[in-house]
Amino acid sequence: MHDQLHEYVGVIHIHSTYSDGSRPIPEIAHIASEVGLDYLMFTDHNTLQPKRDGMEGWYHGVLIATGYEINDADDLNHYLAFNLDTELPQHLKPSEYVREVNNQGGFGIIAHPDEKRSAMKKYPPYPWTVWDSKDYHGIEIWNQMSEWMEGLTHFNKFYRVMHPRRSIIAPMEETLEKWDQANQNRKVVGIGGVDAHGHIYRLLGLFHITIFRYKVLFQTIRTHILTDTPFAGEGDHEKDLHNLYESLRNCRCFISNHYCGDARGFRFQAENKTQRVEIGSELKFDKYTHIHVNLPQSAVVHLVKDGKSISVQKGESLVFEIEEPGCYRVEAYYFERPWIFSNHIRIL
Burial (CB count <10 Å: 0-12, 13-18, 19+), residue 335: exposed
Report, in Å, the least distance between residue 15 CB and Zn ion.
6
Q: Binding to Zn ion (CB under 5 A): which residues in 85-124?
A: 111
CB closer to Zn ion out of 200 and 295: 200
Candidate residues 56, 72, 195, 331; the one interacting with Zn ion per rule CB under 5 A: 195
How near is the Cβ of 203 to Zn ion at its closest, in Å?
15
- Would you say 12 or 244 has its CB closer to Zn ion? 12
With CB under 5 A as the contact rule, the residue among 39, 64, 77, 78 that binds Zn ion is 78
User: For Zn ion, what does the binding mask look like between residues 215 and 244, x meaning CB under 5 A?
Assistant: ------------------------------
In a 13 Å sphere around the CA of 109, the CA atoms on its Cβ side amount to 28
Region 9-68 residues binding Zn ion, contact defined as CB under 5 A: none
Beta strand 282-283 with 79-82: parallel, antiparallel or unpaired? Answer: unpaired
Closest by CA to 187, choosing from 133, 245, 134, is 134
Q: How far is 244 from 20, CA to CA, in rounded Å? A: 25
Distances (CA, A) of 29 to 55, 59, 168: 10, 6, 23
Task: Tell me which residue of 257, 263, 333 sits closest to 302, measured CA to CA.
Answer: 333
Binding-site size for Zn ion (CB under 5 A) equals 4
The answer to the question of residue 72 lying near Zn ion (CB under 5 A) is no
Q: Which residue is nearest to Zn ion (CB)?
A: 78
* CA-atom Rg of the chain in angstroms: 19
Q: Nearest Cα to 149, choosing from 127, 174, 120?
A: 120
> Is residue 187 a contact residue for Zn ion (CB under 5 A)?
no
**Least Cβ distance, residue 74 to Zn ion (angstroms):** 13
For binding to Zn ion (CB under 5 A), which residues are involved?
Answer: 69, 78, 111, 195
